[in-house]
Amino acid sequence: MISSFVLCGLMSCLVFFFGVVMRNFEPTSIIYALFLIFLYTRMTFAERKRVGSGVIYRRIFQTVFAVGFCIAFIADLYAERGSMAITSEAMNNSELPFCHIAIPQVLVPFLITKSIIFPARVSGMYAAAASMICIWLALVLTVGRGWCSWICFYGGWEEGFSHVAKKRRLILLPKNKEMREIHFGFFFFIILASICQLSCIYCEWFCPFKLTTEYFPMNSIPTLIAGVMFIGLFLGLVVILPILTKRRTQCSTLCPFGAFASLTDRISLFTMKIDTDKCKGCLKCANACPFGAIDITTIQEKKGHPELNCAKCGECVNACPEKAISYEFRFNMKKGKCSCGKKEAKTAFGRVLQEISEPAQLFRFAAFTFGMIMSSGFVDRSIKIVFDAIKGAL
């Protein structure tokens, strides 16, 4: 119990500094800070009562972040350009905000050409390439692909839509392996195409989130075709299929950053462990996984961990009736050890430290901290925009 209060206290301090002090104590920043503290506190104490039950607060956070980011970003575009369309001036001056989805598309061409093929400045501006890559590197070493389920402001749209319906109308579990193959196959196609064309092919033709951020003016046949594709992919993969399947379909079949994060996740600090001795083979975890990272064969062959594309969302932990799935330190998995097998500390202080250092506690703290820092500015501005709109309407 004391460890939960300690973690909540530490998170409150971080939220106060990054969300309130850094925002000059604006009223909207205080509102969002209180909301964040509420979410993390509820998550922490819910997990203490029943392992896995805190996932609902992760869902709420990521969905709110996605909506808040969209409102604030679009408002910024209209204030600067008068529309969401990308101007030729912004392209020529390399002033577009650098998107994390572009990272795998620019790395290899950068090694070849020594230049960033995305029209963004390397440094010295909002969302510059260097700052976004530094953030990505920090995430790779800590939460890994946990970015997709805890922090990604695009994935929050799918997170929200995937929980609109109460029942699943379309079952994709038998196709999990094929969907992973499609995902990685599409990823390598995008990388090769980006190298050949020296441009971000995914961003120009396949990104469904152009509808929530910025897009090229549809003033020619190619840009009109691209616009139709953006709309179709957003409606199909971000809205309709998540509602029907209760899964993150775009994240698990199309997003190149998701595939890239799956490959680099092997050097992250945290992973997921399936205790094959406790597992009864009920497949509730496989049905609950929004990324299709647990197959029928994963359980039947007793692999002891989800597949490569696991995003550490915790849905499987919540679904497992045997409590056979847990967060684990990757270095323990390599040594064949388990954090749960540690001897209990003899002193009260030692027990508190032991509870705080549990992989699940540390992972949630790290993931929520990253998300809190990245979301504070956007959601704060979006709340202010909504309040101003309501005030203007009255």
Place of tokens 């994240």: 251
Q: Grade residue 342 by pLDDT with cuts at 50, 70 and 90.
A: low
* pLDDT for 363 beyond 70: yes
> Distance between CA 168 and CA 374 in Å, rounded?
32
> Distance between CA 43 and CA 367 in Å, rounded?
13
Task: Let me know: does 65 contact 58? Beta carbons within 8 Å.
Answer: no
Regarding whether 172 and 226 lie in a shared domain, the answer is yes
Regarding whether 215 and 162 lie in a shared domain, the answer is yes
Structural domains in the chain (count): 2
Higher pLDDT, 111 or 342: 111
For 267, residues 6+ apart whose C-beta sits below 8 A from its C-beta are 140, 141, 144
Regarding whether 276 and 174 lie in a shared domain, the answer is no
In a domain, 164, yes or no: yes
Domain boundary among 216, 236, 268: 268
CATH number at residue 311: 3.30.70.20
pLDDT at 3: 85
Rounded to 10 degrees, the C-alpha dihedral 161/162/165/170 comes to: 130
* pLDDT for 260 beyond 90: yes
pTM of the model: 0.91
> Distance between CA 10 and CA 18 in Å, rounded?
12
Regarding whether 229 and 104 lie in a shared domain, the answer is yes
Buried b (16+ CB within 10 A) or exposed e, 203-228: bbbbbbbbbbbbbbeeeeeeeeebbe
In a domain, 225, yes or no: yes
Tell me what the pLDDT averaged over the chain comes to.
89
In a domain, 251, yes or no: yes
**Domain residue limits at 296:** 270-336
In a domain, 75, yes or no: no
Q: Is 320 exposed, middle or buried (0-12, 13-18, 19+ CB in 10 A)?
A: buried
Regarding whether 282 and 314 lie in a shared domain, the answer is yes
According to DSSP, residue 327 is labeled: E
Token couple for 106: 């620019």
Q: Grade residue 67 by pLDDT with cuts at 50, 70 and 90.
A: very high
Domain boundary among 294, 311, 336: 336
pLDDT at 345: 65
Residue type for position 312:
K
Domain boundary among 315, 336, 357: 336
In a domain, 367, yes or no: no
> Distance between CA 47 and CA 4 in Å, rounded?
10
Regarding whether 258 and 319 lie in a shared domain, the answer is no
Regarding whether 210 and 196 lie in a shared domain, the answer is yes
Mean pLDDT to the nearest integer, 204-212: 89
* pLDDT for 337 beyond 70: no
pLDDT at 289: 95
In a domain, 263, yes or no: yes
Regarding whether 297 and 155 lie in a shared domain, the answer is no
* pLDDT for 335 beyond 70: no
Mean pLDDT to the nearest integer, 122-134: 78
* pLDDT for 341 beyond 60: no
Say how far residue 241 (Cα) sits from the centre of its chain.
18
In a domain, 370, yes or no: no
pLDDT at 338: 62
Q: Grade residue 340 by pLDDT with cuts at 50, 70 and 90.
A: low
- Tell me the pLDDT tens digit for each residue of 139-163: 999 999 999 999 999 999 999 999 9
Rounded to 10 degrees, the C-alpha dihedral 78/80/84/86 comes to: 170
Regarding whether 280 and 214 lie in a shared domain, the answer is no
Residue type for position 8:
C
> Distance between CA 235 and CA 237 in Å, rounded?
6
> Distance between CA 235 and CA 354 in Å, rounded?
46
Cα–Cα separations (whole angstroms), residue 335 to 209, 275, 328, 330, 369: 41, 15, 12, 9, 28
Mean pLDDT to the nearest integer, 321-333: 90
* pLDDT for 331 beyond 90: no
Residue type for position 19:
G
C-alpha atoms less than 13 angstroms from C-alpha of 309 in its C-beta half-sphere: 30
> Distance between CA 83 and CA 78 in Å, rounded?
5
Is residue 169 helix, strand or coil? coil
Regarding whether 119 and 234 lie in a shared domain, the answer is yes
Higher pLDDT, 351 or 145: 145
Please give the share of the chain, as a percent, with pLDDT higher than 90.
62
Regarding whether 207 and 137 lie in a shared domain, the answer is yes
In a domain, 331, yes or no: yes
Regarding whether 290 and 246 lie in a shared domain, the answer is no
Is residue 125 helix, strand or coil? coil
Mode of pairing for the β-strands spanning 325-329 and 270-274: antiparallel
